């Protein structure tokens, strides 16, 4: 097989675009960072380049290999979606893996403008939309809180009311006795900013021994 310089350009474009997105993820200390996203975009581009040349004697559709990239990247994305302390995390990272593979495929197909424009849209979503969510206060999540304090019924009622006072919904709650302490478990849902304010309040409460969320 002869060396085609345009193929090297395709790989270089995939590397640069994957590096831009990966740098943003790396800066925010995400599970999938700079090197991983570069490998995803470059690998997808290489598969796309090779698949365009692998036409069998019976005229088999070479796009089959490229289509399998989508299936394969799904397994990689599923590996970063986890349930952590009552919360599902990693969905944005999984979606970033998926779109990074698509950008790599576009670069591998020679669609440089399309790949670059899509990478720009991804960066806009990751950077600007995060601030927009904070401004509109629409970011919402569910958390499980485990709060350990001395056994005190009034304190339990105070904790229960605390979440409501900050505009959070109490989905379920329970109380357990462990020695001289009570462990209060709350399933809470609401805006992320309100969760953070509650956490700050709990951490400054001297009557609370331990907070887990």
Residues 14 and 86 both lie in one domain? yes
Beta bridge partners, 177, equal 182
Average pLDDT over residues 180-203: 88
- What is the model's pLDDT at position 160? 87
Residues 23 and 110 both lie in one domain? yes
Q: Which domain holds residue 154?
A: 140-212
Domain count, the chain: 2
- What is the model's pLDDT at position 101? 92
Residues 45 and 145 both lie in one domain? no
CATH number, domain of 199, equals: 3.30.70.260
pLDDT digits (tens, 9 = 90+) for 8-20: 999 999 999 999 9
pTM (2 d.p.): 0.62
Residues 147 and 164 both lie in one domain? yes
Domain end among 136, 169, 202: 136
Residues 33 and 110 both lie in one domain? yes
Q: How confident is the model at residue 127 (pLDDT cuts 50, 70, 90)?
A: confident
- What is the model's pLDDT at position 28? 78
Mean pLDDT of the chain: 82
Q: How confident is the model at residue 79 (pLDDT cuts 50, 70, 90)?
A: low
Dihedral Cα 163, 168, 172, 173, nearest 10 deg: -10
- What is the model's pLDDT at position 54? 72
Q: How confident is the model at residue 177 (pLDDT cuts 50, 70, 90)?
A: confident
Q: How confident is the model at residue 65 (pLDDT cuts 50, 70, 90)?
A: low
Question: What is the Cα–Cα distance from 187 to 197, expressed in whole angstroms?
Answer: 16
Domain end among 77, 104, 136: 136
Q: Which of 18, 14, 94 is nearest to 48 (CA)?
A: 14
- What is the model's pLDDT at position 133? 61
Residues 122 and 149 both lie in one domain? no
Residues 104 and 155 both lie in one domain? no
Residue 84 φ then ψ, to 5°: -125, 110
Residues 156 and 128 both lie in one domain? no
What six digits make up the tokens of 171? 């989905």
Contact 177, 153 (CB under 8 A): no
């Amino acid at each position: 097989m002869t060396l085609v310089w345009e193929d090297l350009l395709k790989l270089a474009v995939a590397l640069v675009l994957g590096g831009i997105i990966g740098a943003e993820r790396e800066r925010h200390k995400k599970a999938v960072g700079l090197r991983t996203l570069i490998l995803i975009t470059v690998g997808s581009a290489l598969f796309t380049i090779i698949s365009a040349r692998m036409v069998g004697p019976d005229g088999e559709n070479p796009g089959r290999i490229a289509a399998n990239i989508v299936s394969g990247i799904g397994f990689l994305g599923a590996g970063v979606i986890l349930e952590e302390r009552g919360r599902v995390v990693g969905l944005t990272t999984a979606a970033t893996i998926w779109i990074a593979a698509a950008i790599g495929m576009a670069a591998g197909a020679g669609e440089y403008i399309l790949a670059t424009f899509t990478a720009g849209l991804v960066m806009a979503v990751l950077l600007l939309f995060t601030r927009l969510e904070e401004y509109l206060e629409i970011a919402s999540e569910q958390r499980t809180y485990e709060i350990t304090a001395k056994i005190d019924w009034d304190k339990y009622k105070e904790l229960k009311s605390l979440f409501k006072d900050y505009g959070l919904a109490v989905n379920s709650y329970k109380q357990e006795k462990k020695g001289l302490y009570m462990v209060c478990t709350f399933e809470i849902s609401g805006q992320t900013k309100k969760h953070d304010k509650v956490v700050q309040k709990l951490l400054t409460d001297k009557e609370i021994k331990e907070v887990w969320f």
